[in-house]
């Protein structure tokens, strides 16, 4: 599940600027959720370990991407933030993350306009 989410958000190429901006936002959400999962004392240890490992991989990828002159500034800035967040997590596992995303399906009724 973690690999599928990471592939879908990090590996797909956007078709235009709007998709690129949405993808950058989704990357941040995925990283935030992985940070929470890796540091969740109630999660199964194996699940936390997979999340921490995936964060480590993304951190290495992010460090490389921040130096890529072929990327636009917005793309490099996104990767820079990801690298910085993961680095802080790996250093002390004491990040101040925003509150978890809560979506109430009653706020988005399907089929009603």
What's the confidence (pLDDT) of residue 113?
45
Cα 24–25–26 angle (5° rounding)?
A: 90
* Dihedral sign (CA 57, 63, 67, 73): positive
Cα 81–27–56 angle (5° rounding)?
A: 65
Question: Which residue reads 């935030």 in tokens?
Answer: 32
What's the confidence (pLDDT) of residue 76?
96
Q: Domain for residue 89, yes or no?
A: yes
Tens digits of pLDDT across the chain (113 residues): 888 989 999 998 889 999 999 999 999 999 999 999 998 889 999 999 999 999 999 999 999 999 999 999 999 999 999 999 999 999 886 656 666 666 666 665 555 54
pTM of the predicted model, to two decimals?
0.79
CA distance 73 to 69: 9
Give the dihedral of Cα atoms 12, 15, 21, 22; nearest 10 deg.
Answer: -60
Q: Domain for residue 17, yes or no?
A: no
**Residue 74 domain boundaries:** 1-10+31-94
Q: Domain for residue 113, yes or no?
A: no
């Amino acid at each position: 599940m973690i690999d599928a989410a990471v592939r879908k958000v990090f590996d797909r190429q956007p078709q235009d600027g709007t998709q690129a901006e949405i993808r950058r936002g989704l990357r941040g959400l995925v990283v935030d959720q992985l940070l929470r999962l890796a540091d969740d004392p109630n999660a199964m240890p194996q699940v936390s370990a997979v999340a921490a490992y995936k964060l480590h991989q993304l951190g290495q990828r992010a460090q490389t991407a921040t130096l890529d002159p072929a990327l636009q500034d917005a793309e490099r800035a996104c990767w820079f933030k990801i690298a910085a967040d993961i680095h802080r997590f790996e250093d002390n596992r004491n990040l101040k993350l925003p509150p978890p995303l809560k979506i109430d399906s009653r706020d988005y009724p399907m089929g009603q306009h």
